[in-house]
Amino acid sequence: MNGPTTRWAVVTGGTRGIGLAIARRLVSDGFGVIAAARSAAADLPWGVTYAKLDVTDRAAVDAFFAGLPKLDLLVNNAGLAGAQDNDADDALWHAILATNLTGAWYCSRAALTRLPDRTGRIVNISSVLGLRGVPDQPAYVAAKHGLIGLTRAMAMQAAPRGITVNAICPGWVDTEMATQRFGEIGITADEAAAGVPVGRIASPWEVADMVAFLARAGAGSITGQAIPIDGGATARA
- CA torsion sign, 1 to 117 to 111 to 157? negative
| Stretch near ligand NDP under the rule CB under 6 A, chosen from 34-42, 58-66, 112-120, 154-162 | 34-42
Taking the complex as a whole, how short is the minimal distance between the CB of residue 102 and ligand NDP, in angstroms? 10
Of 21 and 112, which has the nearer Cβ to ligand NDP? Answer: 21
Active-site residue flag, 50: no
How far is residue 6's CA from residue 86's CA, in Å, rounded to a whole number? 48
- Contacts of 3 by beta carbon, 8 Å cutoff, 6+ apart: none
Of 78 and 148, which has the nearer Cβ to ligand NDP? Answer: 78
- Applying CB under 6 A, among 23, 48, 81, 96 the residue interacting with ligand NDP is 81
Residue 223 as a binder of ligand NDP (CB under 6 A): the answer is no
Residue 80 as a binder of ligand NDP (CB under 6 A): the answer is yes
User: Strands 7-12, 73-76: parallel, antiparallel or unpaired by DSSP?
Assistant: parallel
| Stretch near ligand NDP under the rule CB under 6 A, chosen from 25-33, 47-55, 109-117, 218-226 | 47-55
Residue 16 as a binder of ligand NDP (CB under 6 A): the answer is yes
Q: 3-class SS at 35?
A: strand
What count of residues does the chain have? 237
Query: Within 67-197, where are the H helices?
Result: 91-97, 103-112, 138-158, 176-185, 189-194
Residue 189 as a binder of ligand NDP (CB under 6 A): the answer is no
Q: For 129, which DSSP code? A: G
Q: What ranges make up the beta strands (E) of the chain?
A: 7-12, 31-37, 48-52, 73-76, 121-125, 164-170, 226-229
Size, binding site for ligand NDP by CB under 6 A: 31
- Contacts of 105 by beta carbon, 8 Å cutoff, 6+ apart: 150
- CA nearest to 58, candidates 89, 23, 21, 103: 103
- Applying CB under 6 A, among 5, 176, 221, 237 the residue interacting with ligand NDP is 176
Count helices and strands in the chain by DSSP H and E runs: 8, 7
Amino acid at 143: A
Q: Segment 97-136, which members bind ligand NDP (CB under 6 A)?
A: 99-100, 103, 125, 127
Of 51 and 222, which has the nearer Cβ to ligand NDP? Answer: 51
Taking the complex as a whole, how short is the minimal distance between the CB of residue 17 and ligand NDP, in angstroms? 2
Q: Which of 140, 144, 158, 192 is catalytic?
A: 140
The residues of the shown chain that bind ligand NDP, judged by CB under 6 A, are 12-13, 15-19, 37-39, 53-56, 77-81, 99-100, 103, 125, 127, 170, 172-173, 175-178
- Catalytic residue IDs: 140
